[in-house]
Amino acid sequence: MIIDGKAIAAKVRAEVAQAVRDIEARARVKPGLALIRVGNDPASEIYVRGKVKACQETGMAGFEHILPEQTTEAELLALVRKLNVDPHVHGVLVQLPLPRQIDPGAVLDLLAPQKDVDGFGPHNAGALVTGRKGLRPCTPLGILRLLDEAQTRLEGAQALVVGRSNIVGKPVAMLLLERHATVTIAHSRTAALAEQVARADVLVAAIGKAEIIRGDWIKPGATVVDVGMNRNAAGKLTGDVEFARASERARAITPVPGGVGPMTIAYLLSNTIQAARAQLGL
C-alpha cells in the first residue's frame, strides 16, 4: 500500500474547515493563526506563504508578520508578548531558523503555551514527555495519522525512529510510546543501523540523507514512513528510504513527495483549532 499523504491531508483540512465554521457559529470569532517570519530565508518564505494560503483556504484568519533580517531579539520578543494577549490570535508560529542574533529558545520560552501551535516550547514538550494534555508537534502528529490511516498496529510493535531532532525524531518516538509501541531511537552514532531496521515493524526515517536506508534492510510486512526531504543534483526530491526496493518488502510505505510533507501544514491548522477551542472554552 502506498500511503497517500496528499489525500489524507485533504481530509484533515476538510475537518479543519468544518471546525472553523463550527467555532464561528458558536463563539462568533474566527480561529486565528499568526505567522512570524524574520529575514529572507528562501525556504522560510515558501513555507510561510504556504501556511498563510492554507489558513485562508480553511476560512481561518492568517496574520502574517514579516520582520527584517536585522530585527533584534528584544523586538521579536515584544511582538510575541503582544500576540500572546491578542484575542484574535489563537496560535502563534515563529518560523525557524531565526537570524543569528536571536536565540530561538528565548522566543519559545516566552510564547504562551496555549498558543504554541508548533508544540516546540518547554511547556508542551514537557507535557508530551509526561503524558499530559498539550499541543503536540505537527509533523509527528501527521506521521501518527498516516500510520493510523494505513491501519498500522502500534501496540506491542517494534518501532524504530531514525533521527532524534526536537521537531521530528524525539516527539514522534514519544507519540509511538504513548501508543504502546516498543520504541528504539537511532541516530548518527548508532552501530549496525541495518540490523535495527531489519527488526522494525514500524519504521520512521527522519534523517535528511537521500536513500540512506536501503530497501533490502526493510522487514517484510513493515510499515514505513519516510520524513526525509532531500533534493538531488537534478533538483528531484527524494526521501531517506530507497523507495523502489523498500516498497517491494513493506506492507505500506509513504512516497516522497506526497507522503509526510502535506501533513505538517494540515496539523498546524488542526492544532490552531485545538488551541482556539481551548481559549474560547468550547
Catalogue the active-site residues: 51, 95, 118
**Least distance to ligand NDP, CB of residue 196, Å:** 9
Q: Does 206 sit near ligand NDP (CB under 6 A)? A: yes
Q: The C-alpha cell of 20 is what?
A: 472553523
Q: Does 62 sit near ligand NDP (CB under 6 A)? A: no
- Report d(CA 38, CA 97) in Å as an integer: 9
Q: Report residue 258: phi and psi, to 5°.
A: 95, 10
User: Closest Cα partner for 78 from 97, 99, 106?
Assistant: 106
Length of the chain: 282
**Least distance to ligand NDP, CB of residue 274, Å:** 19
Closer of 265 and 273 to ligand NDP (Cβ): 265
The residues, ordered by sequence, that sit 6+ positions from 136 with a Cβ below 8 Å of its Cβ are: 119, 124, 128, 171, 175, 271
Q: Does 5 sit near ligand NDP (CB under 6 A)? A: no
Residue carrying the nine cell digits 531532532: 165
Closer of 119 and 163 to ligand NDP (Cβ): 163
The SS3 of residue 207 is coil
Residue among 27, 212, 237, 280 that touches ligand NDP (CB under 6 A): 212
Site string for ligand NDP, 160-199 (x = CB under 6 A): --xxxx-xxx----------------xxxxx--x------
Can you give the binding site for ligand NDP, defined by CB under 6 A?
139, 162-165, 167-169, 186-190, 193, 206-209, 212, 227-230, 260-261, 264
